[in-house]
Amino acid sequence: MKVYQNIPSMYDILDFCKSKDFDSYKDLILKKLINKILEEIKNTISISKEFGNFSKQDFLEYIYLSLKENIYNIENKYTKLINATGIILHTNIGRAPIGQEVLEKVIKVSSSYMNLEYDINAGKRTDRNLAVSELLNLLTGCEDAVLLNNNAAALLLIANTFCNGKNLLLSRGEIIEIGDSFRILDILNKSGANVKEVGSTNRTYISDYECNIDEDTSAILKVSKSNYEISGFSSEVSSRELAKLSKANNILFVEDLGSGLLTNNMKDEYGFSNIRSVVDSIEDGVDLVCFSTDKILSSTQGAIITGRKDFIVELKKNPMYRALRAGKNTIAIVYETLKLYLKNDENNIPFISILLQSEEELYQKSKIILDDLEEHREQMEVFIEKSKSYIGGGTSSVITKDSYTVCIRSNYIKIGDFQKKLRDCKIISNIKDGYLKLDVMCIEKQDIDYVSKSIIDILNTT
């Protein structure tokens, strides 16, 4: 076919594309991308007449535009999103935002060399966890701490260090499944621990643990029911009781708190009265406590294990620790976030500042959007309703915060298409009861005008 003869050579394509935009890119990378485009062109030619009238110049222009689009997509995979879902710690869109002040400090340190494992005074190697451990000692009273890359890693390291080939007791009511179908049993089984289930799904008693302790038992694990609730005819054993039982039998007691609520003063102030804190666990006599750093703590993804120093030392001796420990950026971000909790600077933590919004502030944000859309009522139905926002992130299944939601139903655009067009504008919304819904809880004030403009642009261009 003549059309194949009009497909330019790689040399001509490179020369044409680099003369326009891509002179700074490596030829090897450009050739890989161009070869994919050429393969697509040839496949299309074999089954259709789409390129039947293309000249050599037409192909050059087409390949250039395709290459430009491909490179843009490759280099812009991650972008800022506007969270209008009403879920504050939304796992799929990054959970807790990190404070600007924290990131600015971290950039100064991480963009150069830093004393991650170097004692400047002594001139020798030191423990990378020291700074975080000192802050947690001040905040929670723990003896020591270690920072890992996530909370699943924390459980894996604890179980492998102390329960490999031995029994670990866990209530059937706490055999949880976390996001993306990962189950706690799957993680613990990989550690080499023999998980021994005790009690029943809805009722577990201290006697269920007592009768299952034998010479092969090395630990009791209690897991926070952070993403579900058991109510009605139910019973569970308190951490204080399990701590006493563990000490009486000389076995380890571990509590997975998950959410990362540090201290009790945050409970009443931010509505976390039904969530156990790290301080609660330590005061109850728990040996090791693990929790995520990207939930209530409002830092980057990671996990902290706090508790008795002798047990933390053993964790760091395990070769598996080397594979699971946190890197310099995680350590620096968590360290700078924890510093904010030493002072009255919690308002500089994005997650906390979201929670502290008054009902009037939330209403005013929704009212601005409604007023901006007033002139377009002939194109849609729009109104404000009171709503409930959720903490999310596997933190609590019951805690909500009053909010306001802008509800939209276009007269001309299908609701799913409208939601897709908002996603193209980087605005993530919900569909419920036949309406497109934008909860304003997590929409920053500086983004309100952009949200209104995006909705109007969609209405006017469809």
Reported as a single tens digit per residue, the pLDDT across 316-371 is 999 999 999 999 999 999 999 999 999 877 778 899 999 999 999 999 999 999 99
What pLDDT does residue 333 have? 97
Is residue 76's pLDDT more than 80? yes
pTM: 0.91
285 Rama class: left (phi>0) / alpha (psi -120 to 50) / beta: left
Alpha carbons 162 and 378: distance in angstroms, whole number: 67
- Listing DSSP states for 64-133 in one string gives HHHHHHHHHHHHTSS---EE-SSEEE-GGGTSSPPPHHHHHHHHHHHTS---SSEETTTTEE--TTHHHH
State percent of the chain over pLDDT 90.
82
Q: What is the percentage of the chain residues whose pLDDT exceeds 70?
A: 98
The per-residue pLDDT for range 138-174, each reduced to its tens digit, is: 999 999 999 999 999 999 999 999 999 999 999 999 9
When pLDDT is averaged across residues 15-38 and rounded to a whole number, the result is 94
Over its C-alpha atoms, the chain yields an Rg (Å, rounded) of 28
Cα–Cα nearest to 213, from 274, 156, 167: 167
Mean pLDDT of 405-422: 96
Tell me, what's the pLDDT at 180? Answer: 66
Please state, in angstroms and rounded to a whole number, the distance separating the CA atoms of residues 164 and 419: 49
Does the structure show a pLDDT above 70 at 228?
Answer: no
From CA 172, how far away is CA 195, in angstroms rounded? 11
Average pLDDT value for residue range 177-181: 71
Mean pLDDT across 301-310 = 97
Tell me the average pLDDT of the chain. Answer: 93
Q: Are strands 380-392 and 400-410 parallel, antiparallel or unpaired?
A: antiparallel
Q: What confidence score (pLDDT) does residue 338 get?
A: 95
Closest CA to 306 of 330, 290, 286, 325: 290
Q: Tell me the mean pLDDT in the region 304-310.
A: 97
Confidence of residue 227 (pLDDT cuts 50, 70, 90): low
SS3 of residue 22 by DSSP = coil
C-alpha span between 425 and 421 (Å, rounded): 7
| Residue 340 amino acid letter | L
383 or 266: which carries more pLDDT confidence? 383
Has residue 1 got a pLDDT over 70? no
Characterise 250 by phi-psi region: left (phi > 0), alpha (psi -120 to 50), beta (else).
left
Confidence grade of residue 397 (pLDDT, cut at 50, 70, 90): low
Cα–Cα distance measured from residue 161 to residue 38, given in angstroms and rounded to the nearest whole number: 54
Determine if residue 180 is left, alpha or beta; phi over 0 gives left, psi from -120 to 50 gives alpha, anything else beta. left
**Residue in this structure with the two tokens 């901006």, named with its chain if needed:** 372
Q: What is the mean pLDDT of residues 71-84?
A: 95
Domains along the sequence of the chain with CATH: 2-75 (no CATH), 82-90+355-460 (3.90.1150.180), 100-348 (3.40.640.10)
**Beta-bridge partner residues of 400:** 390
Looking at 207-216, 267-276, 418-427, which range is the least confident one?
Answer: 267-276
Q: Does residue 393 register a pLDDT over 90?
A: no
**Nearest of 138, 158, 139 to residue 148 by alpha carbon:** 158
Query: What tens digit of pLDDT does each residue of 103-146 get?
Result: 999 999 999 999 999 999 999 999 999 999 999 999 999 999 99
